[in-house]
Structure 1
Amino acid sequence: MITSSIRAAATTASSSWPRLATTCAAAPTLRARRAYCSTRMPAQMDVSRNTTPAATSSAVSITMRPAADLHVHLRQGPMAATVVPKLVGTGIDTFVVMPNLIPPITDTDMAVAYQKDLYQWAGEGGKGLKFLMTIYLSPELTPDEVRKAKRMGITGIKSYPRGVTTNSDSGIESYEAYYPVFKAMEEEGMILNLHGECPSNPEQNITVLNAEARFLTHLEKLHRDFPNLRIVLEHVTTKDAVDLVASMGPTVACTVTVHHLYLTVEDWAGLPHGFCKPVAKTFADRTALRDIVSSGHPRFFLGTDSAPHPRHAKESARAPAGLFTSMHPLPYLAHLFHQLDMLPRLPGFACEYGRAFYGLPMPETGGVTLTHVPVEEGITIPEVMTVEGMVGPNGAPVEVVPFLAGQTLPWKMTVSS
């Protein structure tokens, strides 16, 4: 349950959630400012106050096969060694892993080596997990390397426009130079994963608020020039993008994150633990995301974009973009889908549609059951996750603040093998 001060926000037609209005007092010292900043979570519902019929109905549950997260950041070193084992028991068994490490994963051999590390970090408990690897689109990538990647089981190539997000300094500036690579990908059946934003540019009036909308002409051109290339516009945030992709053919899809279904601009302006890229947009944009997911559109599916950052970095003068949702992704979704009266859409969104687009088989065994319970019996999100073997400023332990830290979701989850 929410125990900290949060920003007031208006409700939308797609949600009956109450919003808590509070005032924000000034913090007079650096220590007080840091403490104040750390407790200000995005303006979410207080589950204990929700009295909608959906929230108070009894015996609500849903069972499905293990889910697939088609976009996740698992990091490297001690951060990965802490995060990856926590994927076990989350109800997700398949992960498309992003390549923006330091240095980035730019060829097949690097991707295979990283995949091996992930399985080692997963340990015995993670034997049932599947890590599908991607390669960072860079000038060094050739058509021959694409064909090698396909032979070695690499799933996709990830494009980052230069400088738009974490570790994207090696990103691209123009797509035409990569047309031979895209042609090879089209022939081999590999997926192009697009971070769909243009870099900020004062002369062109591009900011984080319209960067996705300004990118859409590039998506249209890529689809027109390579109609059989499977393209995923990652972590979609705008109505414009939703409408465009919905109008396109069967080779273009979108991932939708957990947090973008919850958040708007009100939840990250001045609130580092709500800040991600692409940034959450307007209430109308969020409604468009919810509506397309509620419709059961098969080309809009789960990609959490879970991206852990140390707490001391998130609460610094220049917070990095990214929210950590990997510990409880399905309870987050069950809670939201139930509130929006679309819980039956959860298996398709989280399990079936993404696998179908990627050409992945459905699991033959295993299952996940999510059951609505009284809030006192629900799942409490930890305030922090401590990163083992990683030391922060002044020798303090490094911590990661999960999405909706400290709140209790009125759900329980059982996972069977």
Structure 2
Amino acid sequence: MTSIELPAAADFHVHLRDGSMMETVVPTIKKGGVSLVYVMPNLVPPITTVEQALSYHARLQAIDSSVTYMMTLYLSPEITPAVIAEAAKTNEIFGVKSYPKGLTTNSESGVVSYTQYYPVFAAMEEHDLVLNLHGESPSSETTTVLNAEETFLPTLFDIHEKFPKLRIVLEHCTTAAAVEAVKKCGPTVAATITAHHLYLTIDQWADNPHCFCKPVAKLPSDRAALVKAATSGNPKFFLGTDSAPHPKSAKVGTATGKTAAGVFTQPYAVQYIATAFDRAGRVDMLKGFACDFGRAFYKIVEKGLGSKDGGVIVLSKDPGVVVVDTIGAGEGVVVPFHAGEKIWGLQWKA
């Protein structure tokens, strides 16, 4: 296939930041063929109240009201069963995101022990909110960035066993082991797969800061497992780009002396996916992964978002498009994934 027409895609894991970076990033959502985004809450300070989430939603809407924004809360001691009940009454908040403490960007307020949140999980199960897990264990004598996801999987199984009706998404899978773990769980457990993890292995991020993210890309065999899962037609796996913009200075290490974790894919989200699926000879499977499966898992129509979420996109291999070198300006300039490389092109159908 050299072209395909699809409903607008839905991206179930995005970082839209705040302030000037938000103003840079939000206008790129539609450029990537996406009309619905699930927004992560790891701002500074994190989104831990319904009021904060609704305020953030309003700021996003003010920039581009044509996009549907699904909001999340940040799992922390401030999140109680009462907060969950309040969130469930809104039309904007759909889940709670768990970050392991100190493991990734703005995760200093994250989770140390999941057992303390069992009452919150029970409330989420009751009110049908989704638990989004950053599935990694903190580094230790036996855990590094290369096995942090695999060592977290028993925690996934434990939460699922104790709360079988709780909808859980294992975010940004990076390993063959995670793919198999999600398959073993019941229908209430699904997983997102990013665009960049369909391309990267450890070799790329080891010498390119713009390919460095958390969780890190792993082995070629893991990448192959992700491609197979994404293109399989299994509804447990759907698009969540984890697009994470950082100023170029933060990525190359001049701002803090460290490389910020995150890969920026928002302006070309579906184009990257189409290119990866084309390489696998499975462009025909793109619609389920990018458009249908996530919407079904999140009950978009049942939750009343179907009428606001729409549009048609047309993707073409030829002539395609070359990824720009930078987006934004000044200190906030961001380098997109695979800058300078040719990928599939995209247009919105009139």
TM-score tier by shorter-chain length is: over 0.9
Paired letter, 2:138:
P
Q: 2: distance between equivalents of 1:232 and 1:413?
A: 28
Q: 1:412 to 1:217 in 2, by over 3 A?
A: same
**1:249 and 2:186 equivalent?**
yes
Determine which of 315, 319, 333 is the counterpart of 1:399: 333
Shift of 1:108: 0.6
Separation of aligned partners in 1, 2:29 and 2:181: 33
1:173 paired residue number: 112
> Quick one: distance in 2 between partners of 1:330 and 1:143?
36
For residues 365 and 264 of structure 1, what CA distance do their matches in structure 2 show?
34
User: Does the alignment pair 1:314 with 2:256?
Assistant: no
Q: 1:74 aligns with which of 8, 16, 28?
A: 16
Counterpart amino acid of residue 413 in structure 1: L
Specify the alignment match of 1:358 in structure 2.
Answer: 298
Are residue 408 (structure 1) and residue 342 (structure 2) matched?
Answer: yes
**Distance (Å, rounded) in 1 between the aligned partners of 2:310 and 2:153:** 39
Q: SS at 1:158's partner residue?
A: strand
Pairing partner for 1:196 from 135, 145, 148? 135
Q: Please give the residue correspondences for 1:208-287 in structure 2 after superposition, counting only pairs within 5 Å.
A: 208-287=145-224
Give 1:318 shift: 1.2
Counterpart position of 1:345: 285
Q: Secondary structure at the match of 1:94?
A: strand
2:327 maps to 1:370: no
Question: Aligned runs of 1:118-137 on 2, under 5 Å?
Answer: 118-122=60-64, 127-137=65-75
Larger radius of gyration: 1
Runs of 4+ residues over 3 Å off in structure 1: 362-365
- Residues 189-224 of structure 1, C-alpha deviation per residue, up to 9 Å, x if partnerless? 00000000011112xx11101000000010000000
| 3-state SS of paired residue (1:383) | coil
Structure 1 residue 140 displacement after superposition: 1.2
1:82-101 to structure 2, matched below 5 A, reads 82-101=24-43
Question: Within 2, Cα distance between the matches of 1:129 and 1:414?
Answer: 16
CA distance in structure 2 between the aligned counterparts of 1:83 and 1:295, rounded to whole angstroms: 31
Deviates more, 1:105-114 or 1:311-320: 311-320
More displaced stretch, 129-138 vs 293-302: 293-302
What amino acid is the match of 2:127?
Answer: E
8 Å CA contact 2:30–2:267 kept in 1: the answer is no
Deviates more, 1:311-320 or 1:84-93: 84-93
| Maintained 8 Å contact 2:7/2:313 | yes
1:72-121 alpha-carbon deviations (Å, 9 max, x no partner): 00001000011111223432100000000000000111000000000112
Partner SS for 1:133: strand
Question: What's the secondary structure of 2:294's corresponding residue?
Answer: helix
**TM-score, L = length of structure 1:** 0.80
Residues 89 and 312 of structure 1: is their aligned pair in 2 closer, same or farther, counting only changes over 3 Å? closer
Offset of residue 324 of structure 1: 0.4
DSSP 3-state at the match of 2:168? strand
In structure 1, how many angstroms separate the alpha carbons of the residues matched to 2:98 and 2:341? 35
C-alpha separation in 2, matches of 1:311 and 1:382 = 14
CA offset digits 1:29-77 (Å, max 9, x no partner): xxxxxxxxxxxxxxxxxxxxxxxxxxxxxx7211111100000000010
Displacement of 1:365 in angstroms is: 4.9
1:179 aligned counterpart, secondary structure:
helix
**TM-score of the superposition, structure 2-length normalised?**
0.95
For residue 178 of structure 1, give the secondary structure of its aligned residue in structure 2. helix
> Percent identity, aligned pairs only?
49
**Post-superposition shift, 1:295?**
1.4
Cα contact 2:202–2:216 (8 A) shared by 1: yes
Q: What do residues 141-167 of structure 1 show as CA deviations (whole Å, max 9, x unaligned)?
A: 110110100101211000001011000
Amino acid at match of 2:197: H
CA RMSD of aligned residues (A): 1.3
The alignment status of 1:155 with 2:94, answered yes or no, reads yes
What amino acid is aligned across from residue 175 of structure 1 in structure 2?
Y
The number of residue pairs the alignment matches comes to 341
- Kindly provide the amino acid, as one letter, of the partner of residue 312 in structure 2: G
Matched, 1:207 2:141: no
For 1:199 and 1:401, the matched residues in 2 are separated by 28
Tell me the CA shift for residue 187 of structure 1: 0.5
Q: Deviations over 1:305-338 (max 9, x none)?
A: 0000011110014101000000011111111111
Structure 1 unaligned residues grouped into runs of 5+: 1-58, 393-397
CA distance in 1, matches of 2:235, 2:71: 23
Looking at structure 2, the residues matched to 112 and 237 of structure 1 have their Cα atoms a distance apart, in angstroms, of 31
Other-structure match for 1:29: none
Q: Is the aligned partner of 1:116 residue 2:58?
A: yes
Report the residue type matching 1:263 in the other structure: L
Letter in 2 for 1:156: G
